[in-house]
């Protein structure tokens, strides 16, 4: 069995390295070959172009957005034109639900199987091989690829028909986004009213206001550190997907709409390179306070 992996970014690099635990032959590709030496030292092959990966029986993708996945899989120089019937594409990227369905349909037309398997977890969990992955597609196909998913994920859930993995990941991401937007709004208020930010953080993270978002981001915010998570400018695609579903299916989501407004304000302020904790800058500026130690450039 030959495995392929396309996309050696913040998450993909560690996922691909963990696939070496399978004992199978691995060929990897990325536009930026900076990590190639590490893979070559560990016995993996490296590809000069995307189509070189097409020799693999199962090809994993970990790419930044819908457009890039479409280009890699369906584009003029992409995989579709050189794949053979019976090969399997496993997309671990987080992309639009509608795009996922279209990719699956296009691959099915040439006899290629497809699983959407977006992952959840920070870079540290990708390194540890303890990600969560949610999968959509044929169940028998899922069972075939599950042993390889176990190389980088310790919670693997079959969610149902094609696209179900992306829908499940989106639900998780939207709840996370709402949590962070709430922190960005409420924490500066506590300082405006004279409370000690560190003590407020200690109460939140030991009380009923606690969430994964608060536990991860409050310590980072207090240090003025905003580069420990996924950049907002890339993560915004999840909110776009949520808005599309809300509009197309007439599902009211007022709380999500409010969180999206905070997110948009942060992007318009030029904070897109920060992780989601950087949203706090919106309300710090509005209230003219700092919940944290300001950085030198502020």
Active site residues: 169
What residues have CB less than 8 Å from 213, skipping those under 6 apart?
A: 176, 179, 180, 183, 276
Per the structure block, which two tokens stand in for 126?
């990708």
Q: Find out whether 44 and 28 touch, Cβ atoms under 8 Å.
A: yes
Q: Find out whether 153 and 131 touch, Cβ atoms under 8 Å.
A: yes
Instruction: Give the whole-angstrom CA distance, residue 276 versus residue 232.
Output: 6
Instruction: Give the whole-angstrom CA distance, residue 92 versus residue 3.
Output: 14
Per the structure block, which two tokens stand in for 107?
């691959």
Instruction: Give the whole-angstrom CA distance, residue 132 versus residue 150.
Output: 10
Q: CB burial class (10 A; 0-12, 13-18, 19+) of residue 143?
A: exposed
Among residues 39, 10, 13, which one has the least CA distance to residue 27?
39
DSSP characters over 106-155: HHHTTT-EEEE--EES-HHHHHHT-EEEEEES-HHHHHHHHHHHTTTEEE
Dihedral of CA atoms 218, 219, 223, 227 in degrees, nearest 10, equals: -80
């Amino acid at each position: 069995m030959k495995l392929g992996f396309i996309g050696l970014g913040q998450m993909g690099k560690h996922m691909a390295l963990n696939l070496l635990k399978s004992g199978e032959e691995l060929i990897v590709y990325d536009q930026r070959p900076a990590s190639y030496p590490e893979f070559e030292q560990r016995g993996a092959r490296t590809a000069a172009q995307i189509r070189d990966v097409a020799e693999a029986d199962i090809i994993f993708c970990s790419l930044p957005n819908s457009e890039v996945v479409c280009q890699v899989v369906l584009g003029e120089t992409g995989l579709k034109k050189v794949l053979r019937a019976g090969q399997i594409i496993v997309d671990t990227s987080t992309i639009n639900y509608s795009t996922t369905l279209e990719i699956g349909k296009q691959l099915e037309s040439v006899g290629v199987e497809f699983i959407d398997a977006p992952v959840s977890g920070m870079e540290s969990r990708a390194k540890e091989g303890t990600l969560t992955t949610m999968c959509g597609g044929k169940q028998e196909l899922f069972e075939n690829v599950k042993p390889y998913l176990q190389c980088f994920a310790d919670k693997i859930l079959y969610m149902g028909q094609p696209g179900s993995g992306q829908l499940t990941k989106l639900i998780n991401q939207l709840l996370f986004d709402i949590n962070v937007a709430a922190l960005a709004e409420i924490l500066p208020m506590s300082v405006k009213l004279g409370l000690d930010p560190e003590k407020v953080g200690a109460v939140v993270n030991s009380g009923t206001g606690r969430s994964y978002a608060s536990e991860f981001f409050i310590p980072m915010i207090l240090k003025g550190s905003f580069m420990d998570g996924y950049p907002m400018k890339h993560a915004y695609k999840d909110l776009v997907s949520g808005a599309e579903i809300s509009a197309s299916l007439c599902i009211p989501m007022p709380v999500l709409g409010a969180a999206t407004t905070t997110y948009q304000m942060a992007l318009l302020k030029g904070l897109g390179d920060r992780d989601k904790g950087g949203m706090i800058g919106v309300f710090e500026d509005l209230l003219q306070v700092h919940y944290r130690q300001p950085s030198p450039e502020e």
